[in-house]
Amino acid sequence: MWQLVLMINGYFISVIGCAMFAVAGYDMYVNATGWSLFLNSALFTMFIGLSLFLSNRTSTNSISMRQGYLLTTTSWFSIGLLATLPFMLYGCVSNFHDAFFEAVSGITGTGATIFSDVESLPKPILLWRSVLNMIGGIGVVVFASALLPFLGIGGMQIFQRENSDINDKFMPKFRYIAKRIILVYVFFLVCCITCLYFAGMNMFDAVNHGFSTVATAGFSTKNASIGYYNSPLIEGIVIVFMLLSALPMTFFIMLVQNKFKHSLRTVQVLAFLKTVAITVLAMTLWLRLSGKIDNVVMAFRYAAFNVVSIMTTTGLSSTDYLTWGAFAVAAFTIIGLIGGCSGSTTGSIKVFRWQVITAFLRQTLALAVAPRRMVPLKIKQFVLGNEVVVSVLIFTTLFFLVAAFLVLLLTLCGVDAFTSFAAVMGCITNVGPGVAESIGPSGSFMMFSPFVKYVLAVAMLLGRLEILTVLVVFTRSFWRK
């Protein structure tokens, strides 16, 4: 069971090593003094990766479900572990737990940070944080679109009917899907970076924010995030690419192949866009009527950017929205639980699951009135199978149970209840900034103890890997032959 898992882990680790080489090259280009530190990190990472790959190399076109669970859990953890090396060697952090928290936050696209002054960080480290965002973003999409259907997690398989015979043809189909997803992802990156550059950012900031935006990840090179630029044009560009990245990458592949049709995938996309539009308008109206912002245009500008950022779990900000009061705090907490579309770079519960839950609730209420009535479970005209409903309900239940457990664990460590809730929800949804002031858009996670940071790093991984994928590895039945 382990040979294929270790081989693919070695491949993924080697990719991280190559990324370190690239940042080392940038470090040399800008005449910084730490390029050798990145080079040492890259050499060590490449040694580990290539050793695992070559010593376990095997040719196979199949992967078992057990290997799939083990692969996803071990690969994300090992990548997060090795991604700490540049932070440690460069001296930006003095201990492992801070480096691990920052690395996991980057690779999972969470965007929570332990740095209170990112502008004081060396440029190569800022670039490394954004590179982790970029790699994590594409990893998330490939994982969601190619591997989750195989594992049967959370109903994503309904969008990937072509993978129903995946047990004996997994690897070829994985490569088929992954290549096209990567092409779409790279196209968005290039377009976003180009637009930001011509909108007024310098190339370094454009690259970093392009990586962060398309990965819906949230790391910025500025303490004030996008608000630093105070530019409606830059904010508009970021909004567009956050929305595009929150849609399924397979949706764009379908459009390019001229195979657009009305399906559950398009229903999900329309529902997401409609939810965004309604939420933005509602927040704009509230900001204006409550007197928080007098100008309706400014109210719309701030509402649009921050609502889209939180709903897509990006975590970038154009202003400190926590200063808007209790209603805004409650609203952004709920918005963060919605998420984008299945098969996108976003985190959280995601729109499709909420559609399934709503459909199930409608069916349950109808049957409560007329128990003998035949009420199909459907979204629009599409009838859902019981397996989709069960997987969605299991995921959602586990999501809130795990979140509640982690909140209690943080309170036992001496963190107050509201901050515990805000920190856990910010990490497990992969939004990043919490709704508590100390860890909000203007704060950082540095204040927490080492144990709490490890707990929150685990929360990020659980949220990114859809919870069940990780938990099943720690069950007795998983290891029984």
pLDDT, tens digit, for every residue of 296-315? 999 999 999 999 999 999 99
Half-sphere exposure of residue 133: CA atoms within 13 angstroms, side-chain side: 34
Which of the pair, 247 or 169, is modelled with greater confidence?
247
What is the C-alpha separation between 327 and 450, in angstroms, rounded? 32
pLDDT of residue 416: 95
Q: Is residue 11 part of a domain?
A: yes
Q: Is residue 353 part of a domain?
A: no
pLDDT of residue 160: 41
Query: 249-258, 272-281, 306-315, 466-475: lowest mean pLDDT where?
Result: 249-258
* Percent over 70 (pLDDT), the chain: 90
Give me the domain span that covers residue 28. Answer: 2-182
Mean predicted confidence (pLDDT) in 392-412: 95
Residue 317 has pLDDT above 50, yes or no: yes
Query: 51-65, 218-232, 402-416: lowest mean pLDDT where?
Result: 51-65
Q: Is residue 151 part of a domain?
A: yes
pTM for this model (two decimals): 0.91
**Number of independent structural domains in the chain:** 2
Average pLDDT over the chain, rounded to whole? 87
Last residue of a domain, one of 128, 155, 182: 182
Q: Is residue 271 part of a domain?
A: no
pLDDT of residue 166: 33
Q: Is residue 332 part of a domain?
A: no
* Percent over 90 (pLDDT), the chain: 62
pLDDT of residue 192: 97
Query: 78-92, 294-308, 376-390, 418-432: lowest mean pLDDT where?
Result: 376-390
Residue 379 has pLDDT above 70, yes or no: yes
pLDDT of residue 8: 83
Give the pLDDT band (50/70/90) at residue 117.
Answer: very high
Mean predicted confidence (pLDDT) in 27-37: 80
pLDDT of residue 150: 47
Q: Give φ, ψ of 345 to 5 degrees.
A: -80, 0
pLDDT of residue 183: 87
What is the C-alpha separation between 216 and 327, in angstroms, rounded? 25
Residue 3 has pLDDT above 70, yes or no: yes
Q: Is residue 250 part of a domain?
A: no
Residue 418 has pLDDT above 80, yes or no: yes
Last residue of a domain, one of 125, 147, 182: 182
Which of the pair, 14 or 254, is modelled with greater confidence?
14
Last residue of a domain, one of 133, 153, 182: 182
Q: Is residue 279 part of a domain?
A: no
Closest CA to 252 of 196, 153, 177, 316: 177
pLDDT of residue 421: 97
Q: Is residue 21 part of a domain?
A: yes
